[in-house]
Amino acid sequence: MGGVTSSMAAKFAFFPPNPPSYKLITDKATGLLVLDPFPHRENLQSEILRLPTRRGTEIVAVYVRFPMATSTLLYSHGNAADIGQMYELFIELSILLRVNLMGYDYSGYGQSSGKPSEQNTYADIEAAYKCLKENYGTKQEDIILYGQSVGSGPTLDLAARLPKLRAVVLHSPILSGLRVMYPVKRTYWFDIYKNIDKIPLVKCPVLVIHGTADEVVDCSHGKQLWQLCQEKYEPLWVKGGNHCDLELYPDYIKHLKKFVSSVEKSPSHRNGSRGSTDRFEQSRRSTDFFEAPRKSTDRREKPRKSIDRPEKVKIHDYKLHNVDKLEKLGTPFDQMERSRRSVEYHEKSRRSIDQQLEKARKSVDWLDRIRAG
C-alpha cells in the first residue's frame, strides 16, 4: 500500500513541462553548450553544464557568474518549470543580488535524463553542489540554498546535512507532500519531502517567503516551517501574493537583497545585531515557537551522512550596491510572469486529484484506526 500511496504523491508533485521549453545545442563558434532559443550573451559570464548524478542520470545546469561575488545561490525550482523558463530570472537575480547562481533541472525535467522522483531530486541537488565545489571552488560557507515550493524538499534535505552553509531561502515551501493534499497531524512513512522533520536540523539562517493568498500551498506551511527554524530571519509574508507571482512584488527583491547583505556580514557582527527585527531572531525557547525534531515513522530510509567535511569559516565584508534599475537588464520583470509557471500550480490536474485524494484519505484513516486499536 505504501508504494502505491508514495507513487500517487509523486504524481501530484512532478509536472515537467512537455515539451521542454529549451533544447541543448553546441555553439559552432565556441564549442560551448547553449540553451536554444536563448542565445549566448557576450556580456554575460554563464555556462551550460551536463552533470552526472549518483543515481545514474545526467542533469542539465546553468551557472551564472557575477564579478566579485562573495555568495553563490543554488536554486531548486518549482515542479512545473524547467531552466529554460527560469533562465531570465536566474540572470536577473544574479545581477540584482550580486551573487553567482546555479540552477538545475531535476531528472526527467528539460533535457535532463531519467524520471522525476523524490530520491532523484536529492541526488540531483547533490550533483549540483558537488559541481560548485569541484568545478568552481565554491566553499560550503559561501553557498545560499534556495528552494521554491517542491524545490524546498531537496533544499532542506541537503541543508540538514551541511552544517556550514551561509543561509537558506524557502520560497512558498511545503511542510510535506501529503500535507499539501491532506492536513495530517503526524509524519507517515509513505509521505514525501518531509520538510517538517528536517527544518529543525538546519543550522544556518533561514528566510521564509510565502504569499498570504497562496491557493496551492497554504501560507500556514511557510509559517510553521519558520517557527521550527533554529536560526530565524525576519520572514516575508507577501500580502495578496499567490503561488507563482511573488517575484512581481517589490518587497520580494527588496527583502531578499537585505537578507543576502545580512548573511554576507561577519558572524560576529551578525550575532551582535540580533536584537533588531532586520537581523536574525534568536530561536525562541517558548513552546509556541519551538518543537523538538519529530521522529519520522519511515524506517526504510536511513539518514544520509553529511556529504561535506567541516571547513574553516571565511569572513567576508561586503556592501550591496543599488542595482534596482531593471532597464539595464535585457528582460524586465513582467516577463517572469510568462516564464514562471512553477511549483504545483496545476489547476487542470485538480479534477483527477479529488479522486486520488479520497484514496489517500482512506489510507490515512485506516492507519489511524490501527494506531487507536
Active site positions, annotated: 149, 214, 243
* Cβ proximity of 189 and 300 under 8 Å: yes
Tell me how far apart the 2 most distant CA atoms of the chain are, in Å: 71
Residue 85 contacts by C-beta under 8 Å, 6 or more apart in sequence? 17, 21, 339, 340, 341, 342
Q: What are phi and psi of 51, to 5 degrees?
A: -125, 130
User: 93: buried, middle or exposed (CB in 10 Å: 19+, 13-18, 0-12)?
Assistant: buried
The DSSP call for residue 112 is: -
Q: How far apart are CA 23 and CA 38, in angstroms?
A: 9
* Cβ proximity of 109 and 16 under 8 Å: yes
Query: The dihedral of CA 255, 103, 146, 266: what is its sign?
Result: negative
Distance of alpha carbon 141 from the chain centroid:
17
List the grid coordinates of 244. 507563482
List the grid coordinates of 168. 537558506
User: 203: buried, middle or exposed (CB in 10 Å: 19+, 13-18, 0-12)?
Assistant: middle
Does an H or E element contain 88, and which? helix 83-97
Query: The dihedral of CA 221, 225, 227, 232: what is its sign?
Result: negative
Query: The dihedral of CA 255, 196, 214, 151: what is its sign?
Result: positive
- Helical ranges in 228-290 per DSSP H: 250-263, 267-272
List the grid coordinates of 227. 517557527
CB atoms within 10 A of CB 88: 20
Query: Rg of the Cα trace of the chain?
Result: 20
